[in-house]
Amino acid sequence: MPSERCARDGGHAPAKRHGGVLTLLLGVTLLGCTANAATSIPVLCYHQLNSADNSLVSVTTAQFTQQMDYLVAQGYQTISPDQYVAWLQGSSASLPAKPILITFDDNILNADAATAVLKARNLHATMYVVSGFADNPDGWNMDWAALKTLQANGWYIQLHAGPLGHAVLAGSQVAGCTYFYGCRKAGETFAAYQARVQSDITAGLAALISKGLLASNSQTLAVPWDYIGQDNVDPQVPAWLPGYFASKFLVVFDQDWGYSPGYNRRYRFEVHSDTTLAQFTAALTNSKFGTPVAPTGGPTTAPPTTSTTKPTTTTKPTTTT
């Protein structure tokens, strides 16, 4: 497993295992690390490199290299998802002086182009995996063997969605609401909807564990399509889904569509093909990266949100009935 300079067991060990033991015993800070001194940790979200379809969420290798070089020049060092969770929990985990979490979504094959850039700079990234994409490789997404290779090359693995969680619904109860987790099928009872979502999350976690990519349940989730019912078109969904996700994951990442803190939700900055270096630089100091209330199990009722800006399509959609 990859190891970070300040927490050698940071890969997939439970967050509680992280501790600044040497710092506590010696009373000094080692290797530029501090005992939980960071008040903000930026989180970046990528999807693709060098996509042939010129997708908005695909950056070029040159762009990615420029951005990674900037991070290194500014003293940033990458951390694992476990270290990020430990920081949120207020533990004594040792962190770099300037920690950052770099993430990719959707296990898209061309994302592997980032590996050489990361390795050359002693940086690591986290891949949020859709188990259904790995089960059914189509030349677009990584299969399980490719994900094992990715992990061996220094990447961390976490859950993005289960077998169908990144699919769109062929028929939905509310017109235009087609997200697998955030919407109900036509004629679907709410109890059946809840069971469908829970089953997919459970299956996704089981797949990652059975394939040896996780030792135990993923501690973080990146919500597909960033959609958890923000526009309130089906009021029962936002009254349940954020709390369910929070009960399963200590961190629930989104990219700011209807963003509000609570329910273990955390902000990521999504890097696009048109993101300038100046915008990238400014994003690193966004106040939404600041320390929140420690994550807990989620309640069953979520606060309303009002954003109506639609999320960006990030992958070739798969339709499910």
pLDDT given for residue 21 in this prediction: 28
pTM of the entire structure? Answer: 0.84
116 Cβ partners below 8 Å, 6+ apart? none
pLDDT given for residue 16 in this prediction: 34
User: For the chain, which ranges sit under pLDDT 50?
Assistant: 1-36, 298-317, 321
Tens-place pLDDT, residues 112-143: 999 999 999 999 999 999 999 999 988 999 99
User: H or E segment at 276?
Assistant: none
Residue 265 and residue 242 in contact, taking contact as beta carbons nearer than 8 Å: yes
Using the CB atoms, write b or e for 309-319: b if 16+ within 10 Å: eebeebbeeee
pLDDT given for residue 301 in this prediction: 39
